[in-house]
Chains A and B, each alone.
Chain A
Amino acid sequence: MATEFQDRVDLKTDEMIINMGPQHPATHGVLRLLLNLDGETVKHVEPVLGHLHRAQEWQGQNRTWFQYQALIDRVDYLSGMFTSWAMARACESIDGMVVPPRAEYLRVIVGEMNRITSHLLWLGTYLIDLGAMFGFPFYPFREREKLFDLFEEIAGQRMMYNYIRIGGVLRDPKPQWFDKLSKFLDEFPDRIDEYEAIVTENPIFLNRTKGIGILKQSVAKDYAVTGPCARCSGIPIDLRKDKPYSIYPEIEFESIGYNKDGDTWDRYMARILEMRESIKIIRQCLAKIPEGDIIAKKQAAGMRVKAGEGFAAVESPRGILGCYVISTGTDKPYRFRWRNPSFCNLSVLPELLVGAPIADIMAIFGSIDVILPDVDR
């Protein structure tokens, strides 16, 4: 573009500095990108973080275990089950608590349900980022609402569940709940087919996503990218397979997205396929789920965790979500530290954006699926 023109004619041009965000319709919250533009081409990017910093780790040191447990759903508000799950597993590893099998099954079921809702929201907003503004994006929300209804029945809340508790889960669903869930699972594959019919082979969508934002394997490793983004770049990293936790070893499923090009279309496709895999996982869990207790030890407001330190990680929809906790045996945690996938995935953004036109900024940024509260905590 402008550079080719400059080679032939000795024209003096200046770079333009644009401040994209924090108030911008497409930055998914409050990310601020300092862009140096040459015409429409990005020359330099600097993500400025911290606009949504809520001191989530520090708050953990000033709340009781019971209170903080309810707070951490807000860290990654689109997949709250996974933050709860990571914290519960970290605390259980200190206590050496054995979670009842029924609770483990329920955790996997709600976790995979949450993975679907998270990917559905991503799908809708990503299409908005690409400019399909008023058309398609609301279809995924229709199915998301159905899953939220199910969540509401078991956790009492639609987004901030506080359902997975230290030692088990909060409530045992009624038998009708399982029926509703399996009914949803029966119709959901058709819905995914509908999305794919509109999007996957759409020529404009292919033009906008094929071959742009290519994340090379070495770069992904350097920046510790995890989740579907890393798997699309050819790194076979999936905690559910690599370090199987909970009941994942007993379940047959595929980890999606090895040995692809690592462009934005692959990341789109990986999430679509992951939703299909999640359906399979939930189906198997529904078939196998045993009867029994749902929590190892009933919780009370003054609950304590034994002194010690523990770390646990789960595979969240965005990547590896780790939780490190130190307990001194009091009713308050001594220290919490989160390893958030969004933060690591976002840090790779400058590598992908340099050289891309303005229009691709949102196509690439959207495709790595970052949640800003998860970045800033």
Chain B
Amino acid sequence: MIPNGAEVFKLSRLSIAWLSIIFGIVWAVCWSIGVGLPMLLEGQFGERVTLINEILKAVTPIVAILVFIPINAMFMVLIERRALAIFTVRKGPNRVGPDGNLQTMADAVKLLLKEDITPTGADAFMFTLAPILFFAPSIFGSLPLLAAVTNNHDLFKILNLPTGIFYILASASLPVVALVMAGWSSNNKYSLVGGLRSAAQAISYEIPLVFSLITVCLMAGTLDVVKIAQQQAGGILNWNILGGGALAGLNQFFAAIISGQGADKALAAFYPYGGLSYVAALVLVPCVFMSFCLYLTSACAEINRIPFDLPEAESELVSGYNTEYSGIKFAIFFLAEFTNLFVVASITTVMFLGGGDNPIPPYLLDKFTPFPQMIAALRETPLVKDLHLINPETLFATFWVIAKVYSLVFFAILIRGTLPRFRIDQLMNFGWKRLIPLSLIIFVLVVFARGFVISHG
């Protein structure tokens, strides 16, 4: 197929505009609550309002997420529909608002105004609780990520848990309970089958998912997502996707060559066992890359995206667990699904793709580009010094995080536009007979190979 160049250009322009608006709004809210208002209060009342200021700062991340999730989901639905329209030679939404940009807003309003139906014979309490329980983990479960993706910004430091990834995984396994509840309480056989399917699927695919992340934690030597993100700083060779620090020595080697210092020492420091170390590094690189692929695959299954969207398989189960839902409850399910996609992409970014790290190593940037001077100049402006409106580290980290996360989201959309759906028994076979043994093998290989290389941990 020849891609429609004009449409693709329009899509990217639109994404950039939307993303600037979204993150502009979110940062404006964060700043006014966490920085602006405390500064104002302190100027007026002095020391007396310290407690209030602390509370305001603590509330900021939660407000940020609550502002971010709905508008982000709106944007993601729109971009998904537009991208799928390009893949499938259609026009996509183009009626509501300029170029169809308000389509998802109109959809949201429609869903909120629709009658909220509880079917006859349904367990009303569980029926109402299910969407809430489905949505809540995607809010509080993603909080530690916020510290990681903003490079541990002052406002989000409070979220920095020492057991970050453990907490994230624990809360990510909660929604499956909600799906079973939704399926059971709807008093609909399609919903019941959908709910049971989602339970079976989530339980089987959580194992390779956790194992692939544990592999990374093993390389990093910590469960703290902020530390994992910071360890990977220093260019693409340091990222976990390329061996989790196995190539860090190579990175140092290049840095030493460029700066003209003793290059041999750098290699020797990172690969202490000579040839054995190099073999270990060669094993680690494909292993960690495989666990990256494993993570993407099982995350796709975890959040019920095509080709693993069996719990809501339209052609078989009408709409699966959410068949009976309408109005705002359905809207919450819908919102949570897209938020989960975003959360999964963020986890991948932090754990494998270096978080907010620039892919170009700093020794190249320092030498050949004017960026370092620009950052230094930016630091001296009153915007940064007095108002704390922009924090240069966070700004660039956020830029790279956004670029990486939305590339992954776009990749998920591309997969959705291409593949058919698995059958439930094939899905189970694939999970238990392929992914789980593979993830175990990778784990064992990494355990042994890691001893011969000085990796991040």
Complex contact A205–B420 (CB within 8 A):
yes
Which of A16, A26, A205 meets B189, CB within 8 Å?
A: A16
Complex contact B84–A135 (CB within 8 A):
yes
Which of B306, B310, B423 meets A133, CB within 8 Å?
A: B306
> Is A134 part of the binding interface, using a Cβ–Cβ cutoff of 8 Å?
yes
Tell me which residues from 288 to 328 in chain B have a Cβ below 8 Å from any Cβ of chain A: 306-307, 309-310, 313-318
Query: Known contacts being A131-B315, A133-B306, A135-B88, is A357 close to B420, with CB within 8 Å?
Result: no
> Is B374 part of the binding interface, using a Cβ–Cβ cutoff of 8 Å?
no
Hey, which chain B residues are within 8 Å of A208, CB to CB? 420-423, 426
Taken together as a complex, chains A and B put the C-alpha atoms of A127 and B314 apart, in Å, by 12
Taken together as a complex, chains A and B put the C-alpha atoms of A18 and B190 apart, in Å, by 8
Which of A26, A134, A137, A207 meets B423, CB within 8 Å?
A: A207
Which of A134, A194, A198, A204 meets B422, CB within 8 Å?
A: A204
> Is B343 part of the binding interface, using a Cβ–Cβ cutoff of 8 Å?
no
Between-chain CB contacts (< 8 Å), 13 pairs: A26-B314, A127-B420, A128-B315, A130-B421, A131-B314, A131-B315, A132-B421, A134-B88, A134-B417, A136-B88, A142-B89, A204-B422, A359-B316
> Is A138 part of the binding interface, using a Cβ–Cβ cutoff of 8 Å?
yes
Q: Encode B418-434 as 1/0 by CB contact (under 8 A) with A.
A: 11111111100000000
Hey, which chain B residues are within 8 Å of A205, CB to CB? 420
> Is B143 part of the binding interface, using a Cβ–Cβ cutoff of 8 Å?
no
Q: Which residue of B lies closest to A26 (CB)?
A: B315
Complex contact B423–A360 (CB within 8 A):
yes
Complex contact A362–B316 (CB within 8 A):
yes
> Is B87 part of the binding interface, using a Cβ–Cβ cutoff of 8 Å?
yes
> Is B193 part of the binding interface, using a Cβ–Cβ cutoff of 8 Å?
yes
Taken together as a complex, chains A and B put the C-alpha atoms of A127 and B419 apart, in Å, by 9
Q: Encode A349-368 as 1/0 by CB contact (under 8 A) with B.
A: 00000000111111000000
Q: Encode B100-142 as 1/0 by CB contact (under 8 A) with A.
A: 0000000000000000000000000000000000000000000
> Is A301 part of the binding interface, using a Cβ–Cβ cutoff of 8 Å?
no
Hey, which chain A residues are within 8 Å of B317, CB to CB? 358
Query: Known contacts being A135-B417, A358-B316, A362-B315, is A204 close to B90, with CB within 8 Å?
Result: no
Query: Known contacts being A127-B420, A130-B421, A202-B419, is A194 close to B1, with CB within 8 Å?
Result: yes
Complex contact A25–B314 (CB within 8 A):
yes
New A-B contacts (15) at CB < 8 Å, excluding given A133-B416, A204-B421: A16-B189, A18-B190, A26-B315, A127-B420, A130-B315, A130-B421, A131-B421, A133-B315, A135-B416, A135-B419, A208-B420, A357-B423, A358-B316, A358-B317, A359-B423
Hey, which chain B residues are within 8 Å of A238, CB to CB? none
Taken together as a complex, chains A and B put the C-alpha atoms of A332 and B235 apart, in Å, by 84
Hey, which chain A residues are within 8 Å of B90, CB to CB? 138
Taken together as a complex, chains A and B put the C-alpha atoms of A225 and B97 apart, in Å, by 52
Complex contact B315–A129 (CB within 8 A):
yes
> Is A258 part of the binding interface, using a Cβ–Cβ cutoff of 8 Å?
no
Hey, which chain A residues are within 8 Å of B88, CB to CB? 134-139
Complex contact A134–B314 (CB within 8 A):
no
Min C-beta distance of B38 to chain A, whole Å? 47
Complex contact B89–A139 (CB within 8 A):
yes
Q: Encode B386-427 as 1/0 by CB contact (under 8 A) with A.
A: 000000000000000000000000000000111111111110
Tell me which residues from 114 to 169 in chain A have a Cβ below 8 Å from any Cβ of chain B: 127-139, 142
Taken together as a complex, chains A and B put the C-alpha atoms of A360 and B426 apart, in Å, by 12
Min C-beta distance of B174 to chain A, whole Å? 25
The number of residues on chain A lying at the interface, defined by a beta carbon within 8 Å of a beta carbon of chain B, is: 34
B87, B310, B421 — most chain A CB neighbours (10 Å): B421
A16, A132, A136, A138 — most chain B CB neighbours (10 Å): A132
Complex contact B420–A131 (CB within 8 A):
yes
9 shortest A-B CB distances, which residue pairs?
A131-B421, A26-B315, A135-B417, A138-B88, A132-B420, A130-B420, A359-B423, A134-B84, A362-B315
Hey, which chain B residues are within 8 Å of A133, CB to CB? 306, 314-315, 416, 421
Which of B306, B421, B424 meets A357, CB within 8 Å?
A: B424
Complex contact A204–B193 (CB within 8 A):
no
Taken together as a complex, chains A and B put the C-alpha atoms of A139 and B87 apart, in Å, by 9
> Is A309 part of the binding interface, using a Cβ–Cβ cutoff of 8 Å?
no
> Is A1 part of the binding interface, using a Cβ–Cβ cutoff of 8 Å?
yes
> Is A95 part of the binding interface, using a Cβ–Cβ cutoff of 8 Å?
no
Complex contact A132–B1 (CB within 8 A):
no
Taken together as a complex, chains A and B put the C-alpha atoms of A202 and B420 apart, in Å, by 9
> Is A63 part of the binding interface, using a Cβ–Cβ cutoff of 8 Å?
no
> Is A24 part of the binding interface, using a Cβ–Cβ cutoff of 8 Å?
yes
Hey, which chain B residues are within 8 Å of A24, CB to CB? 318
Taken together as a complex, chains A and B put the C-alpha atoms of A194 and B2 apart, in Å, by 11
Q: Which residue of B lies closest to A1 (CB)?
A: B425
Hey, which chain A residues are within 8 Å of B425, CB to CB? 1, 357
Hey, which chain A residues are within 8 Å of B418, CB to CB? 132, 135-136, 198
Complex contact B420–A204 (CB within 8 A):
yes
Complex contact A359–B424 (CB within 8 A):
yes
Hey, which chain A residues are within 8 Å of B193, CB to CB? 40, 358
Q: Which residue of B lies closest to A360 (CB)?
A: B423
Taken together as a complex, chains A and B put the C-alpha atoms of A377 and B150 apart, in Å, by 64
Min C-beta distance of B190 to chain A, whole Å? 7
Complex contact A207–B316 (CB within 8 A):
no
A24, A358, A359 — most chain B CB neighbours (10 Å): A359
Q: Which residue of A lies closest to B80 (CB)?
A: A134
Taken together as a complex, chains A and B put the C-alpha atoms of A321 and B59 apart, in Å, by 71
Q: Which residue of B lies closest to A365 (CB)?
A: B315
Query: Known contacts being A142-B89, A207-B426, A359-B424, is A131 close to B309, with CB within 8 Å?
Result: yes
B315, B316, B317, B425 — most chain A CB neighbours (10 Å): B315
Min C-beta distance of A142 to chain B, whole Å? 5
Q: Encode B152-191 as 1/0 by CB contact (under 8 A) with A.
A: 0000000000000000000000000000000000000110
Q: Which residue of A lies closest to B192 (CB)?
A: A16
Taken together as a complex, chains A and B put the C-alpha atoms of A142 and B306 apart, in Å, by 24
Complex contact B421–A40 (CB within 8 A):
no
Query: Known contacts being A127-B420, A132-B420, A138-B88, is A25 close to B189, with CB within 8 Å?
Result: no
Hey, which chain A residues are within 8 Å of B417, CB to CB? 134-136
Hey, which chain A residues are within 8 Å of B309, CB to CB? 131
Taken together as a complex, chains A and B put the C-alpha atoms of A16 and B192 apart, in Å, by 11
Taken together as a complex, chains A and B put the C-alpha atoms of A205 and B318 apart, in Å, by 21
Hey, which chain B residues are within 8 Å of A1, CB to CB? 425
Q: Which residue of B lies closest to A194 (CB)?
A: B1
Query: Known contacts being A135-B84, A135-B417, is A25 close to B318, with CB within 8 Å?
Result: yes
Hey, which chain B residues are within 8 Å of A194, CB to CB? 1
Min C-beta distance of A301 to chain B, whole Å? 42
Tell me which residues from 77 to 97 in chain B have a Cβ below 8 Å from any Cβ of chain A: 84, 87-90
Query: Known contacts being A24-B318, A26-B314, A26-B316, is A132 close to B419, with CB within 8 Å?
Result: yes
Q: Which residue of B lies closest to A130 (CB)?
A: B420
Complex contact B307–A204 (CB within 8 A):
yes
Taken together as a complex, chains A and B put the C-alpha atoms of A265 and B316 apart, in Å, by 19
Taken together as a complex, chains A and B put the C-alpha atoms of A242 and B294 apart, in Å, by 54
Tell me which residues from 273 to 328 in chain A have a Cβ below 8 Å from any Cβ of chain B: none
Taken together as a complex, chains A and B put the C-alpha atoms of A151 and B413 apart, in Å, by 36
Q: Which residue of B lies closest to A127 (CB)?
A: B420
